[in-house]
Amino acid sequence: MVGGGVVGLTTAVVLAERGRRVRLWTREPVERTTSAVAGALWWPYRIEPVALARSWALRSLDVYEELAARPGESGVRMVEGVLGETGLDEADTWAAARLPGLRVATAEEYGGSGLWARLPLIDMSTHLSWLRKRLVSAGGVVEIRAVSDLAEAEAPVVVNCTGLGARELVPDASVRPVRGQLVVVENPGIRTWMVSTDPVSGEMAYFFPQPGRLVLGGTAEEDAWSAEPDPAVAEAIVRRCAALRPKIAGARVLAHLVGLRPARDAVRLERERLPDGRPLVHNYGHGGAGVTVAWGCAREAAELASR
């Protein structure tokens, strides 16, 4: 397996727990992958095709609901909040039956049109470490190793979960970055999350209460490769979030983060062959929803690898 983000680790766990011998190569330690930067609220975002993404998301929801019984260990909690600019009709077509508490947000909860929901919120620093430990417990091996050719992997089946790296490694020029910048602050007592999108400018504002901190976002800059935080962007993020919850304005800043979402016109989840004939399974291009669909995609990728 190549790729140590949340999609790669989850796929490796599923394969190992099905009895396959798994060796995972990752260019960066899992704590430094793009997945480590994710705000990690369960909800499909910037991922195609929509129908398949929703199916993968619901399969993943089953797992996250189980893991939420052990939040300290897994990093997964069920937390309430508001999905701004989202109507009940839209959610009712696919999610309402699985989210019994889904309802229209009141005027006191949100100034515009939105949904109140109880969704998985994942602390990625804990969750990625937990996934790695679960993989090792199932007999898997994790190695820090850069790869220049997928054929380097000496295995009867190779699984490619390299995210943005697939642009050069496959190569697949349709994979492109969507830059997201976050600001981490001390939590001034906020217990619910919120996602809001300005209907005119399209600018996002969201905040997620994670253990010991509050994560503020965000941006979605297409084809932007810079991993350096922009101070002006950070100020704008805090300002937009403070407009939703004024006490955020005075919160002490703990960190600035940047992640490059691996966007593609559609997730590539399919099986082909390397030049030497060995099976190659692709599982990449999940955009801003890697955490949301990780388990659903992992199980499908494992089925393709085990054919």
pLDDT in tens, 213-244: 999 999 999 999 999 999 999 999 999 999 99
Kindly state the percentage of the chain with pLDDT values over 70. 100
Q: Report helix, strand or coil for 147.
A: coil
Distance (Å) of CA 46 to CA 25, 221, 297: 27, 12, 16
Q: What is the mean pLDDT of the chain?
A: 96
Distance (Å) of CA 242 to CA 35, 121, 190, 207: 26, 21, 12, 10
Q: 101: pLDDT confidence band, cut at 50, 70 and 90?
A: confident
CA dist., res. 211 & res. 109, Å (int): 22
Q: Interior CA angle at 181 toward 180 and 184, to 5°?
A: 135
**In this predicted model, what pLDDT tens digit does every residue of 55-83 receive, in sequence order?**
999 999 999 999 999 999 999 999 999 99
User: In the predicted model, what is the mean pLDDT of residues 117-144?
Assistant: 97
Strand ranges for the chain from DSSP E: 23-26, 76-84, 103-104, 114-122, 141-144, 158-160, 176-185, 193-197, 204-210, 213-217, 221-222, 253-263, 268-273, 279-284
* Residues in CB range of 184: below 8 A, 6 or more apart: 213, 214, 215, 216, 253, 254, 255, 256, 257
